[in-house]
């Protein structure tokens, strides 16, 4: 791919140590539902090293051996030694059983090298039941879940991901960090937004810096990393030990190559032409087709088209056809109709993926009344079963 060279004096960032697992560069792909499947993880890994986490797995569905979930918990050929799983759970006993299954049985043929616990999801159907980013408010329950996971994981490092809190009046991240540290978690990731912000506004990186000062375990920063230089700036401003990349890589898997270069202290940054982007798009669809079959793979790929083409000059007829593509040859023919052109500089540093206005967080009735209530929220996993 074409690239641009600009002077830089940034020093290399050391590898991230999670127990016996070394993540070099200290870059982690955030789990994204419907996105971070084996095909996308493979594609991103082809551009740069790091830790690539699978889609979020529901502990209840895993324990019940839901077939869809068991399919999701499988490693690609090139991640056998660094397979990473994120779990969602609200009941300590269920979380402990799910972790034990992964570690002791090697579900789907692979023993994970890393397990992350999701306490950051802001989706209303999850918080309404007390899960995701609502759960850290119940600090005793949070402690019990982390403790159960760490004990069941034995030598496999366990990390947690969270947000600043429910809202500005119900901040939880410092307590969550201390609990994670005390219970033996290997690291904590902080998304610099509260749950009520969803994905609106600007991430507050200063909270990441405060968490770095408050705990001794590594802190990973997440939120508004659109370019590799954003990651460098986050590390410089917060002292975080690494970064977690979510929306910034949508339609831009080469971002992981940029991040590897940035954390190695080199200035290389990819600016692919339209023809080069088209090649990546076809590779992505091919990987999905190998995984799901051509029709399902190309159908799944449709959601990525707008992200890849963001800022490029593409005829409306081609865009409409790509949104309905159902085969690899058809995809290749449509992509060939797009004139080659330089990468659109206007989209550099611009937000990608979902956005939403802030809104009050849906919570179970009485959820805020007692922070030390250890009882799991009733029915919190029912809405997110099957993966």
Catalytic residue IDs: 121
**Distance between CA atoms of 146 and 329, rounded to whole angstroms?**
48
Q: Using DSSP, state whether 186 is helix, strand or coil.
A: coil
Q: Using DSSP, state whether 84 is helix, strand or coil.
A: strand
Closest to 386 measured CA to CA, from 14, 43, 63: 63
**Residues contacting 23, CB < 8 A, separation 6+:** 15, 16, 17, 50, 51, 82, 242
**Residues contacting 329, CB < 8 A, separation 6+:** none
Write down the residue that tokens 């429910």 correspond to: 166
* Residue 283: how many other CB atoms lie within 10 Å: 15
**Distance between CA atoms of 57 and 114, rounded to whole angstroms?**
13
Q: Are strands 165-167 and 269-270 parallel, antiparallel or unpaired?
A: unpaired
**Distance between CA atoms of 254 and 67, rounded to whole angstroms?**
32
Furthest-apart CA pair in the chain: how many Å? 61
Closest to 94 measured CA to CA, from 149, 35, 163, 15: 149
Q: Using DSSP, state whether 17 is helix, strand or coil.
A: strand
Question: Is residue 41 within 8 Å of 295, Cβ to Cβ?
Answer: no
- DSSP assignment, residue 31? P
Between vectors from CA 20 to CA 96 and to CA 38, what angle results, nearest 5°?
70
Signed CA dihedral, 174, 176, 181, 186: sign only:
negative
**Distance between CA atoms of 86 and 64, rounded to whole angstroms?**
17
- DSSP assignment, residue 361? P
Write down the residue that tokens 């449509």 correspond to: 334
**Distance between CA atoms of 217 and 14, rounded to whole angstroms?**
15
Signed CA dihedral, 353, 48, 242, 159: sign only:
positive
């Amino acid at each position: 791919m074409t690239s641009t060279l600009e002077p830089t004096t940034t020093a290399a960032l050391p590898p991230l140590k999670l127990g016996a697992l070394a993540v070099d560069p200290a870059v982690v792909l955030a789990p994204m539902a419907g996105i971070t499947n084996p095909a996308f993880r493979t594609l991103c890994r082809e551009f740069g090293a790091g830790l690539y986490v699978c889609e979020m797995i529901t502990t209840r569905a895993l324990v019940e051996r839901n077939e869809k979930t068991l399919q999701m918990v499988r490693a690609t050929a090139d991640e056998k030694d660094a397979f990473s799983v994120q779990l969602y759970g609200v009941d300590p006993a269920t979380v402990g059983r799910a972790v034990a299954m992964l570690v002791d049985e090697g579900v789907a043929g692979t023993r994970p090298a890393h397990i992350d616990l999701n306490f950051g999801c802001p989706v209303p159907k999850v918080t309404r039941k007390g899960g995701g980013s609502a759960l850290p408010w119940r600090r005793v329950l949070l402690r019990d879940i982390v403790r159960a996971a760490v004990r069941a994981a034995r030598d496999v490092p366990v990390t947690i991901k969270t947000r600043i809190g429910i809202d500005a009046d119900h901040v939880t991240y410092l307590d969550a960090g201390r609990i994670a540290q005390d219970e033996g978690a290997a690291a904590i990731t902080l998304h610099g937004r509260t749950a009520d912000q969803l994905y609106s506004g600007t991430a507050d990186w200063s909270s990441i810096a405060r968490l770095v000062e408050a705990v001794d375990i590594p802190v990973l920063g997440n939120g508004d990393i659109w370019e590799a230089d954003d990651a460098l700036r986050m590390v410089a401003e917060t002292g975080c030990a690494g970064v977690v990349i979510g929306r910034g890589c949508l339609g831009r898997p080469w971002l992981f190559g940029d991040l590897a270069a940035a954390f190695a202290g080199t200035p290389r940054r990819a600016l692919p032409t339209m023809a080069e982007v088209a090649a990546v798009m076809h590779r992505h669809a091919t990987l999905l087709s190998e995984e799901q079959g051509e029709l399902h793979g190309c159908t799944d790929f449709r959601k990525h088209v707008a992200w890849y083409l963001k800022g490029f000059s593409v005829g409306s007829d081609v865009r409409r056809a790509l949104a309905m593509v159902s085969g690899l040859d058809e995809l290749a023919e449509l992509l060939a109709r797009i004139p080659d052109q330089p990468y659109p500089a206007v989209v550099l540093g611009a937000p990608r993926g979902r956005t939403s206005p802030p809104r009050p967080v849906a919570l179970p009735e009485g959820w805020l009344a007692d922070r030390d209530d250890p009882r799991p929220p009733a029915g919190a996993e029912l809405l997110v079963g099957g993966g």
